[in-house]
């Protein structure tokens, strides 16, 4: 299987609930290498740019309001089969539908406030990582 990169975001609910360490621990224990990690506060403009594919959908305004409501933590990850493995680790978008043991099942309140984001394809992973990180901010982590 190929080594892939994917973007995780610990969303504002994750930060507010003091779960940065706990959720990052799940990610690392599942074998993901952290290439880059930072805490930032998105504006409505930067959140809108990131979620541009969802513009026009009924939940868009709520999503942008939530994503710009507090600090979040984008994390660039690398692993074999990273995109699918990370999506399996976080579970379905709606925590009601997420499998037991997944991050969203364990920690999320609802579909809108669902603790974490994950890229949905290898190509989007590259685009999304570059939205938050320059190439020199991505540090090899081979140990």
Q: Which of 81, 93 has the CB closer to ligand CMP?
A: 93
Encoding tokens for residue 41?
A: 């506060």
Which residue from 20, 35, 41, 112 is in contact with ligand CMP, where contact means CB under 6 A? Answer: 112
Q: Which is nearer to ligand CMP, 49 or 139 (CB)?
A: 49
Q: Which two tokens stand for residue 84?
A: 């699918």
Return the number of the residue (55 or 139) whose C-beta is nearest ligand CMP. Answer: 55
* Catalytic-labelled residue, pool 5, 79, 104, 117: 117
Count of residues touching ligand CMP (by CB under 6 A): 8
Options 63, 72, 103, 129; binder of ligand CMP; rule CB under 6 A: 63
Is residue 93 close enough to count as binding ligand CMP by CB under 6 A? yes
Phi, psi for residue 5 in degrees, rounded to 5: -115, 150
**Is position 131 an interface residue for ligand CMP (rule: CB under 6 A)?**
no
**By CB under 6 A, residue 70 contacts ligand CMP:** no
Taking phi over 0 as left and psi of -120 to 50 as alpha, with beta for the rest, 100 belongs to beta
CA angle 90, 54, 138 (to 5 degrees): 55
Q: Is 114 in the site for ligand CMP (CB under 6 A)?
A: yes
Residues taking part in catalysis: 117
């Amino acid at each position: 299987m190929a080594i892939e990169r994917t973007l995780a975001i610990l969303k504002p609910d994750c930060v507010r609930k003091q779960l940065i360490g706990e959720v990052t621990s799940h990610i690392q224990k599942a074998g993901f290498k952290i290439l880059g990690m930072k805490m930032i506060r998105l504006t409505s403009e930067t959140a809108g740019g990131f979620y541009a594919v969802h513009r026009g959908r009924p939940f868009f305004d709520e999503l942008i309001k939530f994503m710009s409501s507090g600090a979040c933590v984008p994390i660039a990850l690398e692993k074999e089969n990273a995109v699918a493995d990370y999506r399996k680790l976080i579970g379905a978008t709606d925590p009601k539908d997420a499998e037991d043991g997944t991050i969203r099942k364990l920690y999320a309140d609802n579909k809108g406030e669902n603790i974490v984001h994950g890229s949905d394809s290898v190509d989007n992973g590259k685009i999304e990582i570059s939205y938050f990180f320059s190439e020199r901010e991505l540090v090899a982590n081979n140990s």
